[in-house]
Amino acid sequence: MSHDGITVNGLVREFKGGIRAVDGIELQVQPGEIYGFLGPNGAGKSTTVHVLTTLLPPTAGSATVAGFDVATQGPEVRRRIGAALQEAALDNFLTGREHFELQGGLHGLSKADRAARAVELLERVGLTDAADRKVGGYSGGMKRRLDLALALVHRPSILFLDEPTTGLDPQSRSALWGEVARLAKDDGVTVFLTTQYLEEADVLADRVGIIDHGRIVAEGSPQALKEQIGRSSVEAIPSNPDDRAAIEAVLSQFGEPAAASPKGVAVRLAGGSESLGQVVRALDGEGLQIAHLQLHAPSLDDVFLAKTGRSLEGEDEGDESRPPREEAA
């Protein structure tokens, strides 16, 4: 599939009262890439998606999607994108198949094409059996899957997914991840995915942009970002609590102290994860009994912590489920 990706230059979106939800974002998403936009609630993720999908005009800066300017070529952009926004807004009184009729019809698909796409996409997201049931009776996971399928009805080259797995059970989340990965790999669809889940960004995204207070604070592949932060840490929990000091002395030979659980001792390994074997041999050499030994690889949360001084996990700064109403300053 041939198309341009997404290019964003100095994008700003202000709301009434001077609230700057998006504050000078720069980013580039290559065609066929899955770009994870990671950040806590209120960071500016959804507002960015609303601007890139033409639902909100930018206050300043520019952005092109599929080669078209979001501010001046809205209809051209909309023809080429699919979007599953955070609300999974569906009509509870229509069936799944009727949603395809509606959405396909509005995208100008012929009746035969609409019917064929409905069959194909409902099958793909595992909703064939529920196709003729009213959506009001669907579970949250079914609604999310239908929402994703509807975003694909007109064969978009770029897909925006705004927190697509929020509130889903692990099984539904995993199924949705599989489908998103397949879309990028097999169909060459560019995916711009916002999430507040570290694991989701880590598993799905080719590259991740970490956003906080409307600004991108880090960007790169998940692996590269974690490598920027540094080395793995090892944590040992002694079998005998009296051995704690001895274990601390042994571990200190391998790196500086790191955060550990209340019963454990941890160090950040100066030699990286490769030195784990030496750690085990040293502990064994001193005759120390270890109840639990764990290697912690750096996570995207460590990246967030390093860049912002705060942890992403458990972060809740307010609901960004919907950007404020169009009230540009």
Of residues 69 and 187, the one with the C-beta less far from another protein: 69
Least gap, CB of 119 to another protein (angstroms) = 20
Cα–Cα separations (whole angstroms), residue 22 to 6, 50, 166: 16, 11, 22
DSSP-derived letter for residue 324 is: P
* Closest to 236 (Cα-Cα) out of 251, 255, 249, 257: 251
Residue type, position 2, single letter: S
Of residues 102 and 229, the one with the C-beta less far from another protein: 102
Of residues 90 and 161, the one with the C-beta less far from another protein: 90
Least gap, CB of 71 to another protein (angstroms) = 5
- H/E element, 23: strand 19-29
Where helices occur in the chain by DSSP H, the ranges are: 45-52, 74-80, 96-106, 111-124, 140-151, 170-187, 198-204, 222-229, 244-251, 276-285, 300-308
- On whether the CB atoms of residues 315 and 39 are closer than 8 A, the answer is no
Least gap, CB of 264 to another protein (angstroms) = 46
Of residues 69 and 206, the one with the C-beta less far from another protein: 69
Of residues 191 and 250, the one with the C-beta less far from another protein: 191
DSSP-derived letter for residue 325 is: P
CB atoms within 10 A of CB 325: 8
Least gap, CB of 62 to another protein (angstroms) = 12
Of residues 79 and 124, the one with the C-beta less far from another protein: 79
What is the C-alpha to C-alpha distance for residues 175 and 230, in angstroms, rounded to an integer?
32
Least gap, CB of 267 to another protein (angstroms) = 49
Least gap, CB of 291 to another protein (angstroms) = 50
3-state secondary structure of 175: helix
* Contact residues for 242 (Cβ-Cβ < 8 A; gap 6+): none
Of residues 135 and 251, the one with the C-beta less far from another protein: 135
Least gap, CB of 56 to another protein (angstroms) = 6
Q: Under the rule (CB under 8 A), what is the footprint of another protein?
A: 53-57, 70-75, 77-79, 81, 83, 85-87, 89-91, 93-94, 98, 102-103, 105-108, 134, 150, 322, 325-326
Least gap, CB of 16 to another protein (angstroms) = 12
Of residues 4 and 313, the one with the C-beta less far from another protein: 4
- On whether the CB atoms of residues 141 and 174 are closer than 8 A, the answer is no
Question: CA geometry: angle at 209 spanning 83 and 187, to 5°?
Answer: 45
Question: CA geometry: angle at 156 spanning 136 and 56, to 5°?
Answer: 75
